[in-house]
Amino acid sequence: MPPTPLIQCNPYKGVNPRCWVRLRFAAADGSLHERELLADTGCPCAVILGQADLTILLRAPGAAINSNFGQLTGAWLELHMPELGLTHQLAAYGSDAVLQAARVESPDFAGLAGLPLLRMMEYGGDGGSFWLCKLAAGP
């Protein structure tokens, strides 16, 4: 019998109940840092954090890009979610404007998790919660 997949299931939260994910990052010193991020399938960036978190978690600088929130600082971060099959470097961005927009919904949110990140997993939701799990193995 195959093992039951690990599922991260998060009840909607925020002023207007929103879906969110909990991600863990490994800093350059090996320390692990969990952040709650607003899940936004309309966001073309994998992850956007506040500038302070980006500085703490930075593995290597990345190219900046422009967005409707202004310029986003580019960086490479180490995603450390082995239970979801995600243990690799990830292009990410920093913006305090995005952080403040996410925190309008909930002060717990540290930024956004966009569609490129969500597509690395299976994800979905129902009337009470948003879930994600490791991608199923192909045929």
Q: Would residue 29 count as lying in a domain?
A: yes
User: What per-residue confidence (pLDDT) applies to 139?
Assistant: 52
Domain, as residue range, for 24: 7-133
Does residue 2 belong to any structural domain of this protein?
no
Residue 86 lies in a domain: yes
Q: Is there a domain that residue 112 lies in?
A: yes
> How do the pLDDT tens digits run along the chain, 139 residues long?
455 558 999 999 999 999 999 999 999 999 999 999 999 999 999 999 999 999 999 999 999 999 999 999 999 999 999 999 999 999 999 999 999 999 999 999 999 999 999 999 999 999 999 999 998 865 5
Instruction: Tell me if 138 is assigned to some domain.
Output: no
Q: Which residues of 4-34 are buried (b: 16+ CB within 10 A; e: fewer)?
A: eeeebebebbbeeebbbbebbbbbeeeeeee
CB–CB of 129/10 below 8 Å?
yes
Residue from 29, 27, 43 nearest 109 by CA? 43
Q: How many domains does the chain have?
A: 1
**36 phi/psi in degrees, rounded to 5:** -95, 125
Instruction: State residue 69's pLDDT score.
Output: 95
Residue 95 lies in a domain: yes
Residue 139 lies in a domain: no
Residue 117 counted as domain residue? yes
CATH assignment at residue 106: 2.40.70.10
